[in-house]
A = this chain, B = another copy of it.
Amino acid sequence: MRIITISREFASGGRELGKRLADALGFQYYDSEIIDEIVRHTDFDAGFIDKVSDGEVSFNFHFGRSFGFSVNQPAIDVLAAQHKVITELAQRRDCVIVGRLADIILVKEHPLKIFVYSDREHKIARCKERGELHPEATDRQIIRKCRQIDLNRRRTHDTFAPEKWGDRRGYNLCINTAGVDIKTLIPGLKEYALAFFESLKKEV
């Protein structure tokens, strides 16, 4: 199977890029399907699963004075289910998976691991255009929100991966969407992805 994982900074257009790329390639696009599948495998509701998946829930609690810590078992259970679901989905057909630690979970399948990022100015523009926050939010509030979401993603990712979130060494391709039109980029990115899978065959 050919698998593309998309990790991304909030408001960089990573999800849009992933969806459009999947459509262009005729690959399956997995996003909320993963949550639905986890709901079927566990007793948790979709809201909690989404929070765990996006890093809004911690996995362990450290105690101040002792060296002990206790794990957040429900969060761990969700992650275990997510691991299982993503592994299974990736075996079914060629796919693009956005977020959800898929780059780490599927590392042995040789996915094309993409990291999508942008700059301050274009993130603010994107958030305003899409109404991600309330209409009167200032630029500063928007950027604070972006940073918070990225911090959550970073924390979850770094708990499980050898390379840090966003560190180029953990990805095959890092794409800066600042100042470029994502839709126009897709035909080229599609060809790049196909060439990548072709070139893997020669090396592996």
* A-to-B contact residues, CB < 8 Å: 110, 115, 117, 119, 166, 168-169, 171-176, 179-196, 198-200, 202-204
Contact = CB atoms under 8 A, between A and B. Distances in A.
A108 to B, nearest CB: 13
Interface centre among A117, A187, A194, A203 (most CB of B within 10 A): A203
B117 A169 contact: yes
A23 to B, nearest CB: 15
Q: How many copies does the complex hold?
A: 2
A202 B184 contact: yes
A15 B100 CA distance: 35
Contacts of A166: 168
B169 A168 contact: no
B189 A195 contact: yes
12 contacts: A115-B168, A168-B176, A171-B174, A180-B196, A180-B199, A181-B202, A184-B195, A184-B198, A184-B199, A187-B195, A188-B195, A189-B192
Nearest to A200: B180
Nearest to A173: B175
Contacts of A192: 185, 188-189, 191-192
Nearest to A120: B169
A174 B117 CA distance: 11
Contact of A169 (B119, B191, B195): B119
B196 A185 contact: yes
A154 to B, nearest CB: 14
Closest 9 CB pairs of A and B: A188-B195, A184-B199, A191-B191, A174-B174, A188-B192, A181-B199, A188-B191, A181-B202, A180-B199
A173 to B, nearest CB: 6
Contacts of A189: 192, 195
Contacts of A119: 169
B185 A195 contact: yes
